[in-house]
Chain A
Amino acid sequence: MGFFKEHYIKFVLYMAVIVLVNIVGLTLFFRADLTASKIFSLSDASQKAVATLSEPLSIKVFFSNNLPAPHNNTQRYLKDLLDEYAARAGRLFNYQFYNVSSAEGDLSANAVENRELAQSYGISPIQIRMMENDELKFTNAYMGLVLIHGDLIEKINAVTSADGLEYQLTTAIQKLNNKVSALLRLNDKIQATLYLSSSLNDIAPLIGLDNLPGLEETVKKTIDGINAKSLDLLSFDRQDITDKQALNDIGKKYDLLALSWPDIQDQNIPAGQGAAGLVLTYQDQAASLPLITAVDLPIIGTTYQMADPDTLEQDIMGIIEKMIGINQDIGFLADHGTPALVPDRRTMMQGGSGGDMQVFNDLLSHRYNIRQIALKDQTIPDGLNCLIITKPTEPFSDYELFQIDQALMKGTNIAFFGDAFNEIAPRGGMGMPQYFPIDTGLEKLLAHYGIAMTPAFVMDKTAYKHQPREGGEQIIYFAPMLKEDTINNTPAFMRNIKGIIAMQASPLSLVSDNLTSAGVTATRLLSTSKESWLMKDEINLNPMFISPPESSEEMDSYDLAYLLEGTFTSYFKDKPVPEKPMGEEDISESDTPADAGETTDPAATDAVESDTAAPEGDTPEVVAQNRILETSRPAKIFVLGCSQMLMDNMLDPEGRTTNATFILNTIDHLNGKDEIAAMRSKQQMLNPLADTTAFVRTMIKALNIAGLPVLVFVFGIGVWGTGKIRRKKIAKQFNA
């Protein structure tokens, strides 16, 4: 009995110590990240984001306990990550996990309170799949968090994966920081005007909007809520307009939905008209939020919907964020036949795709305020870090080229995603599409800077393989798969980009003479494999009709993307300033590129004056003097001969694929955000093998599967044989 007591008690005590040590170890721990790109450590951008906090940042996490894998691991990773942030940020950063879980099916008072708190921050449960009592069930789980910085709030509703979580958190923290700075910079209040016609109250029950009379109260309450959180930045006003002409004017000006109705005898409602919408104006900007929408449904007819009060605050904040410019501006050329960033409803109704760059637009809008620039009517704003030009198909006038050139001279980086051909689909969808070479005039500008695009499509033997339903494999030669050896990983923003799929790509070549004379450096970023060839004259992209050349001598590697960096020389140097084509709206004098920055721009010291012809007319003595910036500030031009890579079918909405990472990193690099690019890159897990022959693969497999065991076996026989000889020797010695 004494023995049992002593040993078992000792054993139980040891166990207790081990359990306690493990419990302590859960809170006091150390972690080393052995990965080359420090995937599991906090990035420089994250450290900087929390280290520069000026006000306390609180993170409230609402995460249900006891979730099945992989969600439980995500929770652990989130906690570890927040610990890392806290360690870097000091006292201004704190986080708290709130209990929102039910215990034995019932909710404790504390959990109910926390769920209400989550709800008040707009965090709602999401549906996940889990096994319970031998049944697969769907359950609601809280997996969100809210970041509170001063009075401002940013939320992440669903943290479903550890992948990219650091990127999400850091960009949210940066956004809050930017928002605080932008709000502090505001001189005036944003005017929120509610256009709500009281006449609509009469017909509200007839169109199924019984709550319409309470709309003003709802909007006012929402705006008061925003004011309480955002330094009282909104000024509210209500306009009750029932006059037809005024309604038409306001409707047209702010794109508001106006309703009109005839006499309704049964209800004693006279004919009338009205509109409902919220218009936000700040300085020269205006944006509207429709509060009533009309939807045409087959059979049912037109139905009307009122804005959801729960999402109203979010919608208004979305508009405000854009208005006050919490994100850096980025330019996007919106005319000259470039694809639309947002869907064109009219095209969609006619059966077209209605714009294929929605994903690109969404991904970019997270971090940038995209300013669409219609060059025919507008100028390129000063101070823009980057201008994106995507597959223009209509010619540029010299005056428009001059604007692009001068923007570059002022230091605006240019990202050019171009194609050599314009694809025209056959009418009625029958037959093969036709391809016409694109000649917009921009080509000569790019050639002057040092890069030229060959009018051809690159085919590659290393290409995407399509597997049709009926079986087999179809190589899509015009969709080259770029692998590690053809991707330049040297620039920081290209690190970890190890596999990219291109589509209908056109080859690029350097115009060496122009590069050497300008002193610009060119970095090749992407190229195809050595087994590539060109489709030049008769373009036919039906995979059935494409086959590689028989001779390897006809194949070569072709360059697809370049980054030019340095001080560029203006294309218009020693040339007269182009005249603005007639028939366009006048561009205000202060906006003209020749005028802008002529005294404040340091690069103007390099500029030389050139006289243009004196305008003819009554005042021939007046001679306009324009200044051309002949040498640029240090700038970058990124050229990719494949605009398809920006289309929705090539990018994922989460921005996690290498294609999306490459595109976003490039844009970040051109905007001087290399740290963000590095953080995004490190999440990339794709690490493909180099191309190997079947013989090499078989050899590696054979050596490792069969060779190693054979070696061990031979070694064993050797040891056994040596032992046997030794034993024989000893036996012989003793027998002798």
Chain B
Amino acid sequence: MSQIKIIALKEFKDYFISPIAYIVIALFLIVVGWFFFSTFFIYSRADLRDFFALLPMVFSFFVPALTMRLFAEEKNVGSYETLLTMPVSFVHIALGKFFAATLFTCAMLVPTLSYPIFISLIGDLDWGPVAGGYIGAVFLAGAYCAMGLFASALTRNQIIAFIIGCALCFTLTIINRMLFFMPSEIVTVIEYFGANTHFANFSKGILDTRDILYFISLISIFLFSTHLVMQEKN
């Protein structure tokens, strides 16, 4: 456990030592802030539905950007081999990096807490769906980080890792909108795989064990897959 914690903290600190982290956070805030507030006063509703509706799509690009370097960079510069000489297992490494990335994505969300604070000053905000939305955002971040980590484990090229991560996250984000094209027999199953439906429940203010189970399953599958890839590549 302590190994996971050490790796997670080290990776987390690494994010903040590099100026890229601040650029990514600033860029994230500009993107979501612009899209959310550009129409916010037109609709004039005291809620964060539109902000949470944006998150899966925005995370599809930002999270792979954060996770692409986790394995690919280490393999490229050769520090991965050094890491393997340490008294840590593949599980420790995968989980440590996963927690670091998820924690960083959560840190990216922290400044957005100013949105509900400002909205509550000019409207009667229901904090339940806001809390639900942020809890869902943590699960969503976890799932996308696991996918990004898997993509990073597959290759030593960061660009390829980013593209694979984006493709995976983007597919899960838009799969619900592609159901029209699916054979009717598998629509229900495919729809269950979509991250949007499960996340939408959180942002409405519903904490449902089925949605939590979905995200935990997604995280588990991709962490297992990462572990498998690490073992295979070793």
Residues in chain A within 8 A of chain B (CB atoms): 7-8, 11, 14-15, 18, 21-22, 25-26, 29-37, 39-40, 65-69, 72-73, 103-104, 130-132, 134, 484, 498, 686-690, 692, 696-697, 700-701, 703-706, 708-713, 715-717, 719-720, 723
Contact = CB atoms under 8 A, between A and B. Distances in A.
B208 A31 contact: yes
Interface stretch (B4-12, B58-66, B199-207): B199-207
B209 A22 contact: no
B2 interface: no
B214 to A, nearest CB: 7
A712 B29 contact: yes
A37 B232 CA distance: 52
A688 B46 contact: yes
Contacts of B131: 34
Interface in B18-37: 19, 21-23, 25-27, 29-30, 33-34, 36-37
Contact of A26 (B132, B179, B197, B210): B210
Nearest to A485: B124
B204 A30 contact: no
Contacts of A103: 185
Contacts of B176: 69
A22 B213 contact: yes
Contacts of B22: 712-713, 715-717, 719
B174 interface: no
A451 B131 CA distance: 45
B122 A700 contact: yes
Given A687-B46, A713-B22, A32 B206 contact: yes
A695 to B, nearest CB: 12
B208 A29 contact: yes
Contacts, number: 168
B114 A708 contact: yes
Interface string B171-188: 000001001110011011
Interface string B44-80: 1111000000000000000000000000000000000
A11 B207 contact: no
A688 B114 contact: no
Given A689-B119, A719-B22, 11 more contacts: A7-B231, A18-B217, A66-B185, A72-B187, A131-B180, A689-B122, A692-B122, A704-B37, A716-B22, A716-B26, A717-B22
A700 B36 CA distance: 12
B143 to A, nearest CB: 13
A129 to B, nearest CB: 10
A688 B45 contact: yes
Contact of A32 (B44, B207, B210): B207
B232 A687 contact: no
B29 A11 contact: no
B231 A33 contact: no
B122 A29 contact: no
B34 A705 contact: yes
Interface stretch (B95-103, B146-154, B220-228): B220-228
Contacts of A716: 19, 21-23, 26
A104 B186 CA distance: 12
Nearest to A36: B126
Ranked nearest first, the 5 interchain pairs of A and B with the lowest CB-CB distance are A716-B22, A131-B180, A34-B128, A709-B26, A705-B33
Nearest to B25: A712
Given A703-B114, A713-B22, A720-B19, A39 B205 contact: yes
Contacts of B41: 689, 697, 701
A687 B119 CA distance: 11
25 contacts: A8-B228, A14-B220, A15-B224, A21-B213, A22-B192, A29-B210, A36-B127, A40-B206, A103-B185, A498-B124, A687-B46, A687-B123, A689-B41, A689-B44, A690-B123, A692-B122, A700-B122, A705-B33, A708-B29, A709-B25, A709-B33, A710-B26, A712-B25, A713-B26, A719-B22
Given A14-B220, A30-B209, A34-B128, A712 B111 contact: yes
Interface residues of B, number: 65
B179 A68 contact: yes
Contacts of B46: 687-689
Interface string B123-137: 111111101100000
A723 B205 contact: no
B1 interface: no
Given A31-B209, A690-B122, A708 B33 contact: yes
Given A134-B181, A708-B114, A711-B111, A21 B47 contact: no
A15 B223 CA distance: 12
A11 B224 CA distance: 7
B206 A33 contact: yes
A40 B181 contact: no
B123 A689 contact: yes
A25 B210 contact: yes
Contacts of B26: 709-710, 712-713, 716
Nearest to A103: B185
B187 A68 contact: yes
Contact of B205 (A14, A33, A688, A706): A33
Contacts of A708: 29, 33, 111-112, 114
B149 to A, nearest CB: 16
Given A104-B185, A696-B122, A700-B37, A21 B217 contact: yes
Contact of B213 (A25, A36, A39, A710): A25
Contacts of B206: 31-34, 40
Nearest to B212: A25
B33 A704 contact: yes
Nearest to B44: A689
B219 to A, nearest CB: 10
Given A21-B217, A29-B208, A701 B37 contact: yes
A704 B221 contact: no
Given A700-B118, A704-B33, A711-B111, A36 B181 contact: no
A35 B36 CA distance: 22
Nearest to A39: B205
B47 A687 contact: yes
B197 A35 contact: no
B220 A66 contact: no
A132 B128 CA distance: 39
Contacts of A73: 197
A690 B119 CA distance: 10
Given A11-B224, A31-B209, A34-B205, A704 B129 contact: no
B78 to A, nearest CB: 23
B17 interface: yes
Contact of A66 (B112, B181, B188, B210): B188
B220 A40 contact: no
A692 B37 CA distance: 15
Nearest to B49: A685
A705 B231 CA distance: 44
A479 B156 CA distance: 65
A35 B129 contact: yes
B180 A130 contact: yes
A484 B209 contact: no
Contacts of A709: 25-27, 29-30, 33
B9 to A, nearest CB: 16
A703 B122 CA distance: 15
A26 B119 CA distance: 36
Contacts of B40: 701
A706 B119 CA distance: 17
Contacts of A130: 180
Contacts of A32: 206-208
A131 B181 contact: yes
Contacts of A723: 17
Nearest to A710: B26
Contacts of B33: 704-706, 708-709
A723 B33 CA distance: 30
A590 B115 CA distance: 67
B87 to A, nearest CB: 22
B215 to A, nearest CB: 11
B205 A40 contact: yes
Contacts of A706: 30, 33
